[in-house]
């Protein structure tokens, strides 16, 4: 099966649904009351059922209250609504009254639960505004194009005399036509890798270029305190996720919101890694909570439609490859600090004002040499391949009925544990695709080889000892680096032939050009360069941690032995 | 009450027949057997070997029929025929099938007699559930293992087993179909651990038979069983299994049964070898396969590859395939440096 290949000139592609008002996400906003009511009812029903047997609902409510009161005092944000304290005080007194009024049906546990879920649902809900969308559509390309072309990166001058268009700078690979045709038949869940705060902007941009209707996704509540960002996000379908709230009722509401949106056909974006990759390596352990809502939504679709015409949900991995990541320094520091120590990484704000954010984006786009956006092959919610008609084929190429996965003894059944296992399977498939469709850039290759050479040369002690070594004491010879690059490059080409990884065009340069290209790109932004060449033909690093970070991008391919 | 459902059993060997009879107490059973003589004997006499077959068991020679009439399937065939069966079966299997196998052996993608440990990739050695996963579209897979000597099951003696699966649903379905007043069914989520327990116990059973053949008594056997279990844990951990799986019904439970019973095939192979018979003669005279011999070779490859601690296994390979003397082997094993008791629980 072959799909149409688009050239940079073809973008942006026409929208698959011309009338923006007909987009699933627009319809969701039109029916927002029915939608939020459905979410609320579903959460309450589910929790009532869960606590039906052990009569622990009151216990659960008290736990929620306790956690919320701690949040109010310990981590207040300026985006928080003013009446929060009042709301939770009210909940508290009602829970207390629950004890006093036993047998009296004035206030029930279910009432209180309903009230909390109602508040959470309305806090989470996003909307989509046609006007804001058109406004963004007019403004943003100008904005992007302007900075991209106004400030070409250093290497452009050396390698190419011509300024490049955004589409030449950011090649889009993958079966785009396949994804477009599936988006007409069912609901798309895009699952991107997560390395940078730029990701959500880049993902939004690329999906729009593909001519797909707007996607919904969960954005950190803290981002909504930035006015400019908040305006766009709140009106373009983003819903709010408060990472401080880890109580069961909130998480259930969030998941139900996502599931209900998918069932109503809203194309969605999940970052299955949960948070930006701290180490710089491709995500191998995924957060399965949100992903599970796709599996559950698919089963519910089969339940609602009694035959095989039930709307399908398609999962599409997206791998974003940057030569450099703006936040690399703070990320790798987090990683080294947290390795084996703390479970949770605090969400640090790399930008917290509109100005800060614009500066961040500007830095990114103007310094950005090139990056690659690589779509994986679309799958069903079990990770099976799907063809252009949306039919599923298992790993043996046998055509299968997706519905069968949810059947037992000839009947469609609910089984949460089964769906959790299916979600794990889906997660494994996504990770496989991350590795397979990852585009190896020159900077990844150069950093990988350089760091592995250093690791081999200075092999006393653990990684922490090595990273603490004064940078000026660490250097490698040019001939070693050239030889290592040659070997790893050949292996990558071999793996590329076997469909195990993608490689960028520049990797076909001669080895010294590969080093030059990689180094130029990686050194564009960081004040202390991860890799430099000294006058006497040695390579050294001004920041070993950064070199380590970029090296990690090729971790997991078993390339170490080729260095 | 609705009509009894039909479940499928693949393979009418001794254990397959026992499983079919247990299932027939709760369900209708469709039993696949490729040997026409066996099918005929069951249909004509209602008997197979020493099993009197339940009247609700129907025999067939069509895998397609089994797949189309049954959602719950129990393949019970020797490991070396498993792959060809599953390849034949694959085109009929769907994601709504649940497959619980009861085969206690490994599948290898290579010649076990010529493979060298350093060239081995662990992925090349597969458990039956891995084989099912790879060669079919079934995902809800489980295995059944435990102290289940066919002869005793045929006599309707009380017994218990374990069904292991990542899916609670598979465990429940298996329990529902198999449980009876004479048969208890435990559940376990560590599929790999239970499969390994079922496979690895084979070589310990060989050793137990050999001990009896040499005329040794119960102290020696208790030593063997206890340390044998320890060794199984070391190998299991090296492959990623949970040690607790080896402490349950399919681990220590099965070990006690197979190591104590002359009815066990592996036990009798060990016994006859210790009595001085030649390996070829012993194997040539058996009607069913003793998995233990294959297990010995494959487990040695795993141990040499991973460096797992398994002195008993190493010594048995010497005795069985390198002409090492039994008495000398036991002396050497008794000289192995030992640390503290039950140290494998700290793994």
pLDDT tens string B268-308: 999 999 999 999 999 888 877 778 899 999 999 999 999 99
Residue A332 has pLDDT above 80, yes or no: yes
Residue A155 has pLDDT above 50, yes or no: no
Closest CA to A440 of A553, A328, A516: A553
Q: Say whether B136 and A417 touch across the interface (CB within 8 A).
A: no
Contacts of B6 in chain A (CB under 8 A): none
Contacts of A412 in chain B (CB under 8 A): none
Chain B residue with minimum CA distance to A418: B167
Is the ipTM of this structure higher than 0.90?
yes
- Looking at residue A372, its pLDDT comes to 85
For residue B96, give Cα distances in angstroms to A309, B3, B4, B323: 18, 20, 19, 50
pLDDT tens string B156-197: 999 999 999 999 999 999 999 999 999 999 999 999 999 999
Dihedral sign, Cα of residue B93, residue B98, residue B104, residue B105: positive
Assign A174 to helix, strand or coil: coil
Q: Identify residues of B whose CB sits under 8 angstroms from chain A CBs.
A: 5, 71-72, 90-91, 94-96, 98, 134-137, 139-140, 166-169, 173
Secondary structure of B246-262 as H, E, C letters: HHCHHHHHHHHHHHHCC
* Across A3-7, A337-341, B49-53, B321-325, least confident range: A337-341
Q: Nearest 5°: phi and psi at A525? A: -105, -45
Band of the pLDDT at A164, cuts 50, 70, 90? low
Closest CA to A322 of A558, A12, A550: A550
* Across A12-26, A152-166, A409-423, least confident range: A152-166
Residue A357 has pLDDT above 70, yes or no: no
Band of the pLDDT at A145, cuts 50, 70, 90? low
Q: What Rg, from alpha-carbon coordinates, does chain A have? A: 25
Of B94, B134, B169, the CB nearest to A400: B94
Local structure of residue A215 (DSSP, 8 states): P
Of B95, B98, B169, the CB nearest to A400: B95
Of B72, B91, B95, the CB nearest to A404: B95
Band of the pLDDT at A152, cuts 50, 70, 90? very low
Residue in the structure block whose two tokens are 């957060």: A287
Q: Say whether B96 and A408 touch across the interface (CB within 8 A).
A: yes
Local structure of residue A347 (DSSP, 8 states): -
Band of the pLDDT at A345, cuts 50, 70, 90? very low
Chain B residue with minimum CA distance to A420: B167
* Residues whose CB is less than 8 angstroms from the CB of residue B97 and which lie 6 or more positions away in sequence, other chains included: B67, B70, B71, B72, B73, B138, B140
Partnered with residue B59 across adjacent β-strands are: B31
Q: Say whether B71 and A410 touch across the interface (CB within 8 A).
A: yes
* Residues whose CB is less than 8 angstroms from the CB of residue B73 and which lie 6 or more positions away in sequence, other chains included: B7, B8, B9, B10, B66, B67, B97, B98, B99, B100
Contacts of B91 in chain A (CB under 8 A): 398
Contacts of A408 in chain B (CB under 8 A): 71, 96, 98, 169, 173
Assign B312 to helix, strand or coil: helix
Local structure of residue A515 (DSSP, 8 states): H
Q: Say whether A400 and B137 touch across the interface (CB within 8 A).
A: yes
Q: Say whether A415 and B169 touch across the interface (CB within 8 A).
A: yes
Band of the pLDDT at A344, cuts 50, 70, 90? very low
Dihedral sign, Cα of residue A129, residue A134, residue A137, residue A140: negative
Set out the domains of chain A in order of their start, with CATH numbers. Answer: 18-24+127-437 (3.40.1130), 439-562 (no CATH)
pLDDT tens string A58-76: 999 999 999 999 999 998 8
For residue A103, give Cα distances in angstroms to A53, A100, A109: 19, 9, 12
CB B78 within 8 A of CB B88: no
- C-alpha B75/C-alpha B143 separation (Å) is 9
Q: Say whether A418 and B167 touch across the interface (CB within 8 A).
A: yes
Of B71, B136, B137, the CB nearest to A409: B71
Chain A residue with minimum CA distance to B168: A417
Summary mean pLDDT of chain A: 86
Local structure of residue A78 (DSSP, 8 states): T
Alpha helices in B140-190 (DSSP H): 150-154, 168-178
Cβ burial, residue A18 (10 Å; 0-12/13-18/19+): exposed
- C-alpha A366/C-alpha A151 separation (Å) is 5
Residue A512 has pLDDT above 70, yes or no: yes
CB A230 within 8 A of CB A223: yes
Q: Say whether A405 and B173 touch across the interface (CB within 8 A).
A: no
* Across A223-237, A436-450, B265-279, B280-294, least confident range: A223-237
* Residues whose CB is less than 8 angstroms from the CB of residue B335 and which lie 6 or more positions away in sequence, other chains included: none
CB A213 within 8 A of CB A342: no
Give the number of other Cβ atoms within 10 Å of residue B244's Cβ. Answer: 13
Q: Say whether A382 and B71 touch across the interface (CB within 8 A).
A: no
Closest CA to A183 of A152, A214, A220, A138: A214
- A305 CA to centre of own chain: 31
CATH code of the domain occupying B6-189: 3.40.50.720
Catalytic residue selected from B83, B126, B201, B300: B201
Summary mean pLDDT of chain B: 94
- Looking at residue A157, its pLDDT comes to 41
Dihedral sign, Cα of residue A227, residue A229, residue A231, residue A237: negative
Q: Is B83 a catalytic residue?
A: no
- C-alpha B80/C-alpha B106 separation (Å) is 8
pLDDT tens string A293-311: 999 999 999 999 876 689 9
For residue B64, give Cα distances in angstroms to B40, B87, B94, B135: 20, 12, 12, 16
Give the number of other Cβ atoms within 10 Å of residue A449's Cβ. Answer: 32
**Strands A392-393 vs A385-386: parallel, antiparallel or unpaired:** antiparallel
Q: Say whether A409 and B5 touch across the interface (CB within 8 A).
A: yes
Strands (E) in A245-341, as ranges, are 268-269, 313-322
Residues B125, B128, B133, B134: what is their CA dihedral angle, to the nearest 10 degrees?
40
Residue A242 has pLDDT above 80, yes or no: yes
The distance of A266 to chain B (nearest Cα, Å) reads 27
Band of the pLDDT at A147, cuts 50, 70, 90? low
Band of the pLDDT at A548, cuts 50, 70, 90? very high
Contacts of A409 in chain B (CB under 8 A): 5, 71-72
Q: Nearest 5°: phi and psi at B143? A: -140, 160
Give the number of other Cβ atoms within 10 Å of residue A106's Cβ. Answer: 9
Residue A163 has pLDDT above 70, yes or no: no
**CATH class for the region spanning B204-338:** mainly alpha
pLDDT tens string A525-544: 788 889 999 888 899 999 99
Q: Say whether A407 and B91 touch across the interface (CB within 8 A).
A: no
The distance of A407 to chain B (nearest Cα, Å) reads 6
Q: Say whether A404 and B90 touch across the interface (CB within 8 A).
A: no
Q: Domains of chain B: which residue ranges?
A: 6-189, 204-338
For residue A478, give Cα distances in angstroms to A82, A483, A561, A563, B125: 61, 9, 19, 13, 42
Residue pairs between chains A and B whose CB atoms are closer than 8 Å: 50
- Looking at residue A341, its pLDDT comes to 46
Closest CA to B247 of B259, B238, B256: B256
Maximum distance among all Cα pairs of chain A, rounded to whole angstroms: 87
Local structure of residue B342 (DSSP, 8 states): T
- C-alpha B281/C-alpha B324 separation (Å) is 18
CB A218 within 8 A of CB A290: yes
- Looking at residue A199, its pLDDT comes to 87
Residue in the structure block whose two tokens are 């494959």: B298
3-state helix, strand, coil in chain A (%, to 5): 55, 10, 35
Contacts of B137 in chain A (CB under 8 A): 394, 396, 398, 400
Local structure of residue B26 (DSSP, 8 states): T
Band of the pLDDT at A370, cuts 50, 70, 90? low
Residue A104 has pLDDT above 60, yes or no: no
Per-residue pLDDT of chain B (347 residues; tens, 9 = 90+): 457 899 999 999 999 999 999 999 999 999 999 999 999 999 999 999 889 999 999 999 999 999 999 999 999 999 989 999 999 999 999 999 999 999 999 999 899 999 999 999 999 999 999 999 999 999 999 999 999 999 999 999 999 999 999 999 999 999 999 999 999 999 999 999 999 999 999 999 999 999 999 999 999 999 999 999 999 999 999 999 999 999 999 999 999 999 999 888 899 999 999 999 999 999 888 877 778 899 999 999 999 999 999 999 999 999 999 989 999 999 999 998 887 899 999 88
- Which secondary structure element, helix H or strand E, spans residue A513, and what is its range? helix A511-522
Token pair belonging to A30: 């039109």
Band of the pLDDT at A45, cuts 50, 70, 90? very high
Token pair belonging to A112: 């209180």
**A4: number of CA atoms within 13 Å, CB side?**
10
CB B12 within 8 A of CB B31: yes
Assign A303 to helix, strand or coil: helix
Contacts of B135 in chain A (CB under 8 A): 396
Contacts of B94 in chain A (CB under 8 A): 400-401, 404
């Amino acid at each position: 099966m072959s799909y149409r290949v688009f050239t940079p000139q073809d973008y942006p592609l026409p929208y698959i649904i011309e009338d923006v008002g007909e987009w699933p996400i627009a319809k969701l906003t039109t029916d927002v009351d029915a939608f939020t009511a459905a979410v609320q009812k579903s959460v309450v029903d589910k929790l009532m059922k869960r606590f039906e047997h052990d009569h622990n609902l009151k216990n659960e409510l008290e736990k929620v209250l306790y956690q919320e009161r701690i949040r109010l005092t310990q981590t207040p944000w300026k985006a928080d609504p003013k009446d929060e304290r009042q709301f939770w005080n009210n909940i508290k007194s009602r829970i207390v009254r629950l004890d006093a009024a036993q047998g009296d049906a004035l206030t029930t546990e279910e009432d209180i639960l309903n009230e909390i879920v109602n508040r959470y649902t309305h806090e989470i809900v996003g909307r989509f505004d046609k006007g804001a969308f058109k406004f963004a559509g007019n403004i943003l390309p100008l904005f992007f194009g302007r900075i991209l072309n106004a400030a070409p990166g250093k290497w452009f001058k050396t390698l190419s005399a011509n300024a490049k268009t955004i589409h030449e700078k950011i090649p889009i690979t993958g079966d785009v036509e396949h994804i477009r045709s599936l988006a007409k038949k069912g609901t798309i869940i895009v699952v991107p890798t997560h390395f940078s705060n730029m990701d959500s902007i880049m993902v939004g941009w690329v999906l729009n270029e593909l001519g797909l209707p707007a996607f919904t996704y969960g954005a950190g509540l803290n981002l909504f305190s930035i006015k400019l960002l908040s305006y766009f996000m709140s009106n373009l379908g983003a819903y709010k996720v408060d990472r401080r709230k880890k109580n069961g009722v909130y998480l259930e509401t969030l998941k139900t919101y996502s599931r209900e949106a998918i069932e109503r056909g809203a194309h969605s974006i999940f970052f299955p890694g949960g948070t930006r990759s701290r180490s710089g390596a491709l995500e191998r352990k995924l957060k399965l909570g949100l992903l599970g809502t796709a599996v559950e939504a698919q089963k519910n679709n089969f339940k609602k439609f009694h035959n095989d015409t039930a709307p399908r949900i398609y999962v599409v991995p997206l791998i974003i490859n940057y030569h450099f990541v703006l936040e690399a320094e703070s990320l790798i520091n987090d990683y080294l600090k947290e390795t084996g120590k703390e479970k949770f990484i605090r969400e640090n704000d790399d930008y917290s004002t509109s100005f800060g954010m614009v500066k961040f984006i500007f830095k990114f786009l103007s310094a950005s040499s090139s990056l690659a956006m690589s779509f994986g092959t679309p799958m069903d919610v079990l990770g099976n391949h799907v063809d252009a008609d949306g039919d599923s084929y298992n790993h043996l190429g046998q055509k299968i009925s997706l519905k069968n996965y949810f059947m037992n003894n000839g009947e469609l059944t609910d089984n949460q544990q089964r769906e959790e296992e299916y979600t794990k399977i889906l997660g494994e498939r996504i990770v496989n695709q991350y590795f397979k469709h990852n585009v190896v850039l020159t900077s990844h290759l150069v950093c990988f080889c350089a760091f592995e050479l250093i690791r081999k040369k200075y092999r006393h002690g653990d990684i922490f000892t090595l990273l603490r070594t004064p940078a000026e004491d660490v250097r490698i010879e040019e001939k070693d680096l050239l030889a290592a690059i040659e070997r790893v490059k050949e292996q990558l080409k071999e793996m590329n032939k076997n469909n195990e990884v993608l490689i960028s065009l520049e990797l076909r340069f001669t080895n010294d050009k590969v080093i030059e290209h990689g180094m130029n790109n990686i050194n564009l932004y960081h004040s202390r360069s991860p890799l430099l060449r000294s006058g006497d033909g040695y390579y050294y690093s001004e920041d070993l941690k950064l070199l380590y970070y970029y090296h990690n991008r090729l971790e997991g391919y078993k390339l170490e032995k080729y260095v | 009450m609705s009509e009894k459902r039909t479940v499928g059993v693949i393979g009418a060997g001794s254990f397959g027949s026992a499983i079919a009879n247990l299932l027939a107490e709760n369900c209708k059973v469709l039993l696949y057997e490729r040997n026409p003589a066996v099918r005929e004997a069951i249909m004509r006499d209602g008997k197979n070997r020493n099993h009197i077959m339940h009247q609700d068991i129907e025999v067939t020679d069509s895998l397609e029929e089994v797949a189309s009439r049954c959602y719950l399937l129990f393949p019970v065939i020797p490991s070396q025929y498993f792959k060809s069966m599953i390849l034949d079966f694959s085109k009929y299997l769907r994601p709504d099938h649940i497959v619980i196998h009861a085969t206690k052996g490994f599948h290898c993608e290579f010649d076990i007699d010529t493979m060298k440990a350093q060239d081995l990739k662990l992925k090349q050695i597969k458990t039956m559930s891995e084989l099912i996963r790879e060669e079919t579209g079934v995902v809800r897979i489980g295995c059944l293992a435990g102290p289940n000597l066919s002869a005793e099951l045929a006599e309707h003696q009380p017994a218990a087993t374990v069904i292991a699966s990542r899916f609670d649903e598979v465990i429940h379905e298996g329990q529902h179909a198999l449980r009876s007043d004479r048969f208890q069914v435990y559940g376990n989520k560590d599929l790999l651990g239970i499969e390994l327990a079922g496979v690895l116990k084979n070589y310990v059973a060989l050793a137990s038979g050999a001990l009896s053949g040499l005329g040794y008594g119960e102290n020696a056997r208790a030593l063997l069983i206890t340390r044998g279990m320890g060794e199984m844990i070391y190998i299991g951990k090296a492959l990623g299994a949970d040690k607790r799986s080896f402490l349950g019904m399919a681990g220590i439970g099965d070990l006690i049964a197979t190591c104590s019973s002359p009815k066990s095939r592996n036990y009798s192979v060990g016994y006859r070898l210790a009595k001085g018979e030649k390996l070829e003669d012993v194997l040539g005279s058996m009607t069913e396969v003793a998995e233990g011999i294959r297990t010995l070779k494959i487990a040695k490859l795993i141990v040499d590859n991973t460096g797992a601690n398994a002195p008993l296994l190493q010594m048995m390979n010497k005795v069985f395939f390198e002409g090492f003397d039994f008495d000398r082997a036991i002396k050497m094993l008794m000289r192995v440096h030992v640390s503290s008791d039950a140290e494998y629980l700290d793994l």
